[in-house]
Amino acid sequence: MSSELFHSQVMPIRPKLYRFAYRLLNNEQDAQDITQDAMLKVWHQQERMAELQNLEAWCMRIVRNLALDRLKSKKYRNTEMLDKAGGHAAHQQNPHLAAEQQDVMNRVHRIINTLPEKYRTIIQLRDVDGFSYQEIADILELTMNEVKTNLHRARKAVREQLQNIQVYGLQ
């Protein structure tokens, strides 16, 4: 792979790789490190790129594996939630509405962070990053049916927990 090919095919997906690593690790510095490590790994394994059907899915899988290794090695735990929704709340005219929306987003993120890792990852890939079911299946090395089933279960769990909080006041 030439430098030009690397820059034209791999570098454009770097922001997605970073967001995915950040969502898994919930730490900016670790996400940057993992993204850089993934880019180096892709560069060193460039001979495999010719046989790949989906370069982006392969890169995402590398990021996922590196992030999971980091989580295991550091006995890493998600203690803070990812919450960038507040950045655009300041642009709204009604501060009460903005505060209410921010509160709901905080609850949703808190609920998502309590889900098993597989569910959190699938929700991130589908609902945040916008990957197709097939791309998620390639990234996570699952069947399409497993992706759909796990996504359905994850969304259902979030919906039920959010309903319990909003309707019944249960935490």
List pLDDT tens digits, range 81-130: 333 444 444 444 577 777 777 777 888 888 888 899 889 889 988 887 88
Asked if 107 and 99 count as a contact pair (C-beta separation under 8 A), the reply is no
Report residue 24 as tokens. Answer: 């898994």
Residues 6 or more apart whose CB falls under 8 angstroms from that of 163 comprise: none
Is residue 76 within 8 A of residue 70, CB to CB? The reply is yes
Question: Which segments of the chain does DSSP mark as H helices, in order?
Answer: 3-9, 14-25, 28-44, 55-73, 95-114, 117-123, 133-140, 144-168
Average pLDDT of the residues in 133-148: 91
For residue 164, count other CB atoms closer than 10 A to its CB: 13
The band of 2, judged by pLDDT with boundaries at 50, 70 and 90, is: low
Summarised one tens digit per residue, pLDDT across range 29-77 is 999 999 999 999 988 887 777 777 788 888 888 998 898 888 777 554 4
84 SS3 class: coil
Q: Which residues contact 96 (CB under 8 A, 6 or more apart)?
A: none
Question: Is the whole model's pTM more than 0.85, yes or no?
Answer: no
